[in-house]
A and B are shown apart, each in its own frame.
Chain A
């Protein structure tokens, strides 16, 4: 593909992102007129309700969607290249399941120790749930890293990841069985995914953590390109296979863990977005695919967030319902095309 076409493509995706971002500030149960959005952003309008809606709710939510979308999409790209499997995604590392397990443990323990539901602890419960999700995700990540540092065979690794996911999932189910009814409800809500959980207080730390991970990925582009030839060739071209897969799993696991902790297990963004990037640019060069996948992930997350918040769904529609609705057809068309 010619360079000029690539530039136009990238510019188009960015432009779409900007439009979606502004729409995210504008649309919701209360419609904020466009000129008021800019006035609030530029601090010209001091109408308190509007500025609270925008600064305390919509802006952090839009930023969360943006960052989470980029992180999950590019983590999916890394997984697909590492495992050379078009259906690989961050959930294959068992990270989402680990996060769910962490949340499950916290919910059960609070119920068992205090006899009260987690949700009754208010603000503490959100922090507790995020922290538990993060710890669960990181623990599973360490188990996966231990395996990957010992293994050159990616098929074995992918199976181990899936089995860990099942194992964590089944323990979670057992825990849920013993949990209080109110908490199961809280758990189900967390599991549906939402970009609204970060909020003003935590958006800065969330943003910094994600951006560090995103930047690190750009340094992997060369090795990812070589991996397309398969492990044996990559090894012969000077790549330390075990160390390389540890680094790739570490970075994508880190990003997935953070996003899952704050937003719940969000499906399909990591699976479908890399395919859109590949088909759009007809390329397998990671120097292009990495930024393209991040940008497309941003657009998609903003779009899903917008749909989920459309007037009429006055509460928030679960993000996972929307991502799956858009992601599943993409995955089907990719499989049809690649296995003709």
Chain B
């Protein structure tokens, strides 16, 4: 059949069969590439620029001089990050606060996930719904709720003063403690859901067999349940840890002026100091640390996906 005998529709169908696959892959690929990947390259570029009173407020890296492009890389921003101890403190603080919050979230979330996985069918779906529901209600409002509870004139202080346990209000908001409460509270569902999905798939007869063979319950837990739920523990921990490192809202609203975290530093460099190149350098420094956990997370995600299908 020669091609001029084909109708337009047949031509279109042929074209679709040949190129449809490329199109289906290509459109989301292009979007994510342009709006997720390329921006990081621009951040990297601007982190080597100098701040200027201009619109936009940074110097250009590329210049046409004598019919050739010269590239001026400015490492000053990174040297500045190293020289001022504020940045190192914020960096280490963020990692420490995120790590401790992740451990607390795991300790609270694991028994909950286990309890839900072992509940009877109808109870289980209700409990699961109760975990998911806060995830759908506003994050900002859930952080805000703790202001009224932890404040100097807040509900906990009012209650303790009323009972006479304390005579002076406790300082709880604007401390690191409040930041831990905020992170654990808002990220708890992210920990419970992956834990639940590994615990639910686990074969209970393995534990029964271990108990029948004379294992103590804690031994059975340590030797069977814990290792089998490791993928869930890792996925949940990374889902909490990575965003918590860069958290801005929680330290801003619940932490004090001394609770330095890297996300807050980036925000202030950008919005208060209007120093875009330094903000970009801070972002790159944060990414360098997070690249390994992020790739690990992606690895776990794709492995779980393969085991499912």
A and B found bound together: no
